[in-house]
Amino acid sequence: MSMKKRLVAMSLAAAFAGGAWAADPVKIGLVLPMSGPFAAYGKQIENGVKLYLATKGDTFAGRKVELIVKDDSPGTSGDVSKRLAQELVVKDKVDILAGFGLTPSAFAVAPLATEAKKPMVVMNAATSSVTTKSPYIVRASMTLPQNSAPIATWAAKNKIKNVFTLVADYGPGHDAEGQFKKTFTAAGGQIVGEVRSPVKNPDFAPFLQKIKDTKPDAVFIFLPPGAETIAFMKGFKERGLAEAGIRLISTGDLPDEDILEAIGDSALGLVTSFHYSEAHKSPENKAYTEAYYKAYPKDRPNFMSIGGYDGMHLIAEVLKKTGGNTDAEKFVEAAKGMKWTSPRGVVSIDPATRDIVQTIYIRKVERVAGKLQNVEFDSIPDLKDPGKQ
């Protein structure tokens, strides 16, 4: 054998020993809103993905991860998301589709994942039915029913007898409204009013007036965090709803760390249920938040960034299990039942639904070391998505 042939043979053997062609990167196409009203979602999710690669290494089963980010701003137009995902599959030849800040984006890309046989890892989009739209979807974030049921139970146990619901008029809002109502009324509570606000440019003034006139014990709200949430909180304060004795309850999307300081002191005392808080006390979260601030000093770790971080963890672990094989069927089989300790707590992938099972915490907004934080005081472990039961 010539020297050259021997070298080739040796490097081939080395590549196979690693379980895959060492030179063949694994391409992940991230579909995320990187500009527009939900640009923070894309930034935070990308931060989480990149932090995972920076702290845990970027090569799994011999395959180096290559990220290709497509901005599907505003994230609410399915057509844009679908066209970009098509480009990722056809032109960039990605192995895995991932990201998905908002539900319309995940809904629009799901049929493409099925058709092109690509694994699709959802890092935020949280409408319960998302995972039913393709057999190749695995979700690393949460669902709205999963986060709405615990706060409904908490409210019923804490002298809140009647509630007015206000939700954004699309998938996650409908899920939040439906699950809250189901759990709260089953616990003896009453729904005294329901409104759905437009996702784009809502005017909260008439809704706030109606709520004030109805005088419920509390308002339950779901809005995708952003400028509109801040506007709602401002209106709630200015119109004196708190002074009228009306409490505010919600899922943790409302006091998201990303907008919490912008909401300001009017968030103090707000009780919510959620799967992630920057203030979660665990060694894993301490290491995560410290690394996060080191890498992104201007951003706060939040539920979006943990969705990206854990979504990347899931991909890495699947690659290790399959020896670098990204075939959609094999990917999903390897993901089913996977369990790990995330900075948010112990999580697993439900083999029946490919959705995440996790602890949901009840938290209260407090000032901790000068910063508004969601301080956890109760928890519901191993909660599956109630939206699928």
* Residues lying near ligand PHB in the complex (CB under 6 A): 102-103, 125-127, 172, 224-225, 253
Per DSSP, the chain holds a count of helices (H) and strands (E) of: 12, 15
**Tokens 């083999």 sit at which residue?**
351
Q: Which two tokens stand for residue 51?
A: 């932090």
Closer CB to ligand PHB, residue 49 or residue 144? Answer: 144
Cα-based distances in Å from 299 to 38, 215, 257: 15, 38, 9
Closer CB to ligand PHB, residue 22 or residue 112? Answer: 112
63-71 vs 26-32, strand pairing mode:
parallel
Closer CB to ligand PHB, residue 107 or residue 154? Answer: 107
Least distance in angstroms from the C-beta of 324 to ligand PHB = 31
Least distance in angstroms from the C-beta of 173 to ligand PHB = 9
Going by C-alpha positions, the residue among 182, 168, 79 that lies closest to residue 127 is: 168
Q: 163: burial class by Cβ within 10 Å (0-12, 13-18, 19+)?
A: buried
Closer CB to ligand PHB, residue 253 or residue 385? Answer: 253
**Tokens 């970027």 sit at which residue?**
58
Q: Which two tokens stand for residue 312?
A: 């990347």
Closer CB to ligand PHB, residue 65 or residue 267? Answer: 267
Dist CA 157 CA 70 (whole Å): 45
Least distance in angstroms from the C-beta of 229 to ligand PHB = 9
Closer CB to ligand PHB, residue 74 or residue 224? Answer: 224
Least distance in angstroms from the C-beta of 102 to ligand PHB = 4
Dist CA 195 CA 7 (whole Å): 70
Dist CA 282 CA 88 (whole Å): 37
Angle at 307 (CA atoms; ends 301, 310), nearest 5 degrees: 105
Least distance in angstroms from the C-beta of 129 to ligand PHB = 11
Dist CA 22 CA 162 (whole Å): 61
Least distance in angstroms from the C-beta of 246 to ligand PHB = 23
Q: Which two tokens stand for residue 81?
A: 């998301």
Closer CB to ligand PHB, residue 95 or residue 253? Answer: 253
Closer CB to ligand PHB, residue 26 or residue 45? Answer: 45
Least distance in angstroms from the C-beta of 44 to ligand PHB = 11
Dist CA 362 CA 302 (whole Å): 16
59-60 vs 190-197, strand pairing mode:
unpaired
Least distance in angstroms from the C-beta of 42 to ligand PHB = 12
